[in-house]
Amino acid sequence: MPVEQTLRKASEEVERGDLAGVLRARQRLVGLVTSYPDRLDLRDRLADVYRVLGDTAQAGRWSYLAEERDEAETAAFERAYRTPEARLTALNWVSGEATTETARIRLSALQGAVAEQVRAELAKTDDRDSSWGTNILVLLGLIVVLLCFVVGAVTLVMWVYKWFAG
């Protein structure tokens, strides 16, 4: 079904006002946003459907790149997706450039926050080798396991030999 026809059908379903129709409209719009992730008008329509459903976090998610957005919805979205990386993933933005300056600014700010988050996580990780004591304990543990394996194998071979020799 062409985009405009799908949008018209979704609008009719939302206008009917029954829950089943609104849920079908949401499903249609999710499909459109998945197919055309760089179309901000589709994201706005999906945000409108989530507003009808009363889901402020999802409304904030899909209106995050819009020229005008509700700050309460944006805050709900940011609470639901706590890290910049989670927010960027949730936006499902797959193409390069946004069509509006506002969307470009918000995307680049979010991508910068993700880069900063990754840098901070990398700075926290300890890249030093393990201590000598830890290495010796691991080596001793491996030797004990190897000895148990050898003793078990020798015992099994001797038992099988005695059973056949009888």
Shared domain check, 153 and 106: no
Please check whether residue 104 is in contact with residue 98, taking contact to mean a CB–CB distance below 8 angstroms: yes
Shared domain check, 145 and 96: no
Residue type, 158: M
Q: Over pLDDT 70: what percentage of the chain?
A: 96
Distance CA 53, CA 92 (A): 21
Examine residue 129 and state whether it is found in any structural domain, yes or no.
no
Shared domain check, 90 and 118: yes
Residue with tokens 């026809």: 5
Residue 89 has pLDDT above 70, yes or no: yes
Residue 42 has pLDDT above 70, yes or no: yes
Give the mean model confidence (pLDDT) for residues 21-36.
Answer: 92
Please check whether residue 15 is in contact with residue 23, taking contact to mean a CB–CB distance below 8 angstroms: no
Q: Over pLDDT 90: what percentage of the chain?
A: 61
Examine residue 151 and state whether it is found in any structural domain, yes or no.
yes
C-alpha neighbours within 13 Å on the C-beta side of residue 83: 10
Examine residue 41 and state whether it is found in any structural domain, yes or no.
yes
pLDDT band at 135 (very low <50, low <70, confident <90, very high): confident
pLDDT band at 147 (very low <50, low <70, confident <90, very high): very high
Examine residue 157 and state whether it is found in any structural domain, yes or no.
yes
Shared domain check, 52 and 111: yes
pLDDT at 126: 65
pLDDT at 120: 87
Residue 1 has pLDDT above 80, yes or no: no
Closest CA relative to residue 73, chosen from 87, 90, 61, 85: 61
Q: Would you state the structure tokens that stand for residue 164, as one six-digit string?
A: 């056949």
Q: Compute how many other C-beta atoms are within 10 angstroms of the C-beta atom of residue 17.
A: 9
Shared domain check, 99 and 32: yes
Residue 138 has pLDDT above 70, yes or no: yes
Examine residue 38 and state whether it is found in any structural domain, yes or no.
yes
pLDDT at 153: 94
Q: Which domain holds residue 161?
A: 134-166
Shared domain check, 99 and 19: yes
Shared domain check, 106 and 51: yes
Shared domain check, 160 and 94: no
pLDDT at 61: 95
Residues in the chain: 166
Give the mean model confidence (pLDDT) for residues 43-60.
Answer: 94
Please check whether residue 89 is in contact with residue 82, taking contact to mean a CB–CB distance below 8 angstroms: no
